[in-house]
Structure 1
Amino acid sequence: MIRFILLSVCAAVPFFTLAQSTTVYKCVIKGVTTFSQTPCAKDAQVITLKDINVIEAYKSSTPDKGISDTSVDDYLEVQQIEREIKRLELSIAQNQKEYAAKKQQIDYMTQDKANRLGASSIADAIATKTNSLKQAYDASINQMQQKIESLKQRQQQLSQNP
C-alpha cells in the first residue's frame, strides 16, 4: 500500500509546481543592457521570473476553438478513408493491368486451343474467352468503385460536421 501511494505521488509530481521564482538582475553597462544572476551594478534592476507550469500555461493560452475528441476522431477517420480510397484505386489499376495482360495472352490463341474449347474459329474462341474474362474483372472493378463512392460519401459527411 505504501508503494502504491509513493508511486502515485511520484507520477503526479510533474503535473504540480510550487510557486518558485528566479531572480535576475538587469544592468546597463557602457550603454549595453546586461542580465545577470548576481547584481552587476549598484543601480541593478531586480527582475523576478516565475516558473511556468507548461500544462496550465498551454491551457490558458489556447482557448477552446471547437476542437473536441469527436473532431479529432473524425479527422483520423477521414485520413483512414483517404488511405483506403488510394488503396482501392491502386487495386483497380492493378486489375486493369492484369486484364490487359491476360487479354493479350488470349489474342495469341491457336487453332488447336480453339478446337479444344469447342469454338468454330479462333475469332469465336477469342471473343468467348475475352467476354468471360471481361465480366470477371468488370465485376471486381465495379465492386471497388462502389466502395470508393461510399467512402467518398462518408468522407463528405465527416467533413461537413462542425
Structure 2
Amino acid sequence: MMAGLLGNNVITQIGILVHDIDKVSQAYADFFGVPKPEARWTDAADKAQTEYNGEPSEARAKLAFIDMGSLQLELIEPDLHPSTWRNYLDEHGEGPHHIAFFIEGMKEKVTLLETNGFPLQQKGEYTGGRYAYMDTFKELKVLVELLENDK
C-alpha cells in the first residue's frame, strides 16, 4: 500500500545542523556509548552537481553519520557557500534540519511535491545515488529530504 505523497512513511534519517561537527559527534558518541563517527566532506560541485534554489552551487558540507538501529543521525557542518544547510543554520541555529526518506523515481516525486506546494530547495548527487531537499518547513517545521540510491 502506498503511504502519502512519498509512497513511504518510514523515516530513515534525521539531519542535524551544527557549527562544530567534531565536538558534536564526540558528544553523541559519549552520550550513546558508540564510536565517534568519522566526518567527511561532501563531493565537490563538479561531481555532486549541487543546485541550490535552481542555481549551480559550490556548497559543501562536512558530514558524520551515526547509525541508531533503523534510524540514522546525520550531523552536518556546512561551509560558507549558499546552501540549504548554510541558510537554515544561519536562520534557525543548530538543531534539526530534515527528516529523510528513501524513495524511487526522484524526478516524479520532486514534481509531485512541487505541485502540492513543496518546492525543491536543493539537490545533488552522491556516490551511489541522489538527494533532494523539499521545502516543507511551513507545514512540517522541518525539511524533507528525498534519497534515491542507484539499483
> TM-score normalized by structure 2?
0.19
| Higher RCO structure (Cα 8 Å, ≥6 apart) | 2
Higher Cα radius of gyration? 1
